[in-house]
Amino acid sequence: MSKQSVWWPIPVESSRWFSEEERRVSRRYHDPIQRAVVLRSLSQGLGVVAAWGLIASRGPSVAWWWVVAAVLVALAVPRLVADAWHEFVHEPRFGESPVPPAAFAITTVGRLAIEGGLLTVAFALLQEVGARSIIGVACVAAAVPLASGLIGPRFVLMLHRVVDVPIEHEAHRHVAALAAAHRLPVPRLVELDKASFQGTNAYVTGQRSALTVAVSSRLLSGPDALLRHVVGHEITHLRHRHLLWSAAASSISLGLTVAGALAVTMRIVDGSERLPVLVMLAAVLSQPFRLLLAWLSRANERQADRDAMRYAPVAPELIKQLHLSDRPLLEPSLIARWQSSHPAPAERLEAAARSTRGTPIA
C-alpha cells in the first residue's frame, strides 16, 4: 500500500466509526463550548472597538494607564466570563469537578498581570518606536514562543507532580525498543499527575538530549498494546523534531504578525488610539498564521500516527476507546477542522485501519 499523505486528510464520514448516540453525546458537550468561543471572540472585538471610541473621545491627553486599562478590560472580561462558565457551570453538568476557586482566582490574577504588563510595554513601544526599530521588536517577540516551546514543557514537569515510572513496569521496555528503532537515546519515563493533567494522555519534551516521555496513569494501567502505540506516537515526534519545527514556525508567525501590526498601526493612527488599533490588527493578521500552524500540527500528528502504526500497530477499536474517553469533537465542522491541531478522530481511525501493519518491535 502506498504511503498516505501527511499533508491532506482522508475524507471519511464520522458515522463510519461512531454511532449516532456517540456523536450526539459529543455534540451535547461541545456545541455550548463552541458557542461560548464565538461569543467570547465577538465580545472582545466589540469591547476593543468601544475602548477605541472612549480613548478617542478623551482626547490626546488621556493617561497611559487609562488606555491600558480600557483595552485590558475589553480583552479580559469576556474571556473571564467564558472561563468561569466553562469551569463552574459546563464541566459540572458532565460530572467533572470544577477547579478550586482559589486556583481559578490565582490563575486569573496572574494572567491579568502578564497581559497588563504586555499592553503597557506595547503602549510604550508605540510612543517611542520608529520604523527602524520594528524589526528589532518583532525579533524579540519571535523569541518568546521559541523559548516557550523548547523550555516550557520541562518547567511544567518540574512544577507539577510527576513521578518516575517504576523500572519494572513494562512501559520501560517499550520506550527503550521504540527509541532504539528511531536511533534516539532512551528517554526518561514519567507518570503524569491525574489532577494536574486531566485529559492528557501523553506528551514529550527535549531535543535529542534529556528526552522525557510523560504518560498518564490511565495509559499505564490500560491495554499494553495501546500504551505501546501511544509511546510510539510520542517518540515519533522526537524523531522528526516536531517540537523544534513547531516552535520555529510559531516564532516566525508571531514575528511577522508583530512587525505587520506595528507598521500598519503607526501609519494609520497617532497617539493613544494606537494601542486598541494595534490589538485589532494583530488579531486579524494572526488568523492566517493560526490556520497555517494548525495545518502543520495536523501534518505532524498524521506522521506520528503513521509511524506508530508501523512500529507499534494496534487495533483501531482500542484507539477509538481512547478517543471516546477524552471527549473529542467527533463531528467537527469544516471551520473546526481547519482550526484544530489534530486530525478529526474519524480520519485518524480510518488511517489506522488502512495502514499496512508493521512487525511489532521485540
Can you give the residue ranges of every domain in the chain? 24-128
Kindly indicate the confidence band of residue 135, based on its pLDDT and cuts at 50, 70 and 90. confident
pLDDT tens readout for residues 171-228: 898 889 998 988 888 888 888 766 445 556 777 776 656 788 888 888 888 888 998 9
The whole-angstrom separation of Cα 204 and Cα 232 is 11
Q: Locate 224 and state its grid cell.
A: 499494553
Strands (E), the chain: 163-164, 188-192, 202-205, 212-216
Please give the residue that has the higher pLDDT: either 129 or 352.
352
pLDDT at 74 over 90: yes
For residue 205, the cross-strand partners are 212
Kindly indicate the confidence band of residue 146, based on its pLDDT and cuts at 50, 70 and 90. confident
Please give the residue that has the higher pLDDT: either 149 or 96.
96
Going from the C-alpha of 307 to that of each of 107, 285, 293, the distances in angstroms are: 38, 35, 21
What is the SS3 assignment for 48? helix
Q: Locate 302 and state its grid cell.
A: 498524521
The whole-angstrom separation of Cα 255 and Cα 245 is 15
Q: First-to-last CA distance in the chain?
A: 24
| Cβ atoms of 71 and 48 closer than 8 Å | yes
pLDDT tens readout for residues 286-332: 999 999 999 999 999 999 999 999 999 999 999 998 888 888 899 99
pLDDT at 9 over 50: yes
84: Cβ–Cβ under 8 A, 6 or more apart, which residues? 104
Q: Which of 10, 72, 57, 105 is nearest to 298 (CA)?
A: 10
Q: What angle (nearest 5°) sits at the alpha carbon of residue 224, between those of residues 222 and 229? A: 105
| Cβ atoms of 202 and 231 closer than 8 Å | yes
The whole-angstrom separation of Cα 203 and Cα 230 is 9
Q: Which of 243, 178, 167 is nearest to 208 (CA)?
A: 243
Kindly state the percentage of the chain with pLDDT values over 70.
90
Helix (H) or strand (E) run with residue 5 in it: none
Kindly indicate the confidence band of residue 125, based on its pLDDT and cuts at 50, 70 and 90. confident
The pLDDT mean for the chain works out to 87
pLDDT at 151 over 80: no
The whole-angstrom separation of Cα 204 and Cα 250 is 18
pLDDT at 267 over 70: yes
Q: Locate 183 and state its grid cell.
A: 536511533
pLDDT tens readout for residues 83-124: 999 999 999 998 888 888 998 999 999 999 999 999 999 998
| Cβ atoms of 329 and 26 closer than 8 Å | yes
**pLDDT at residue 1 in the model:** 43
| Cβ atoms of 203 and 234 closer than 8 Å | yes
Q: What angle (nearest 5°) sits at the alpha carbon of residue 95, between those of residues 87 and 315? A: 105
Q: What angle (nearest 5°) sits at the alpha carbon of residue 290, between those of residues 287 and 295? A: 130
pTM here? 0.89
Positive or negative, the Cα torsion across 140, 142, 147, 148? positive
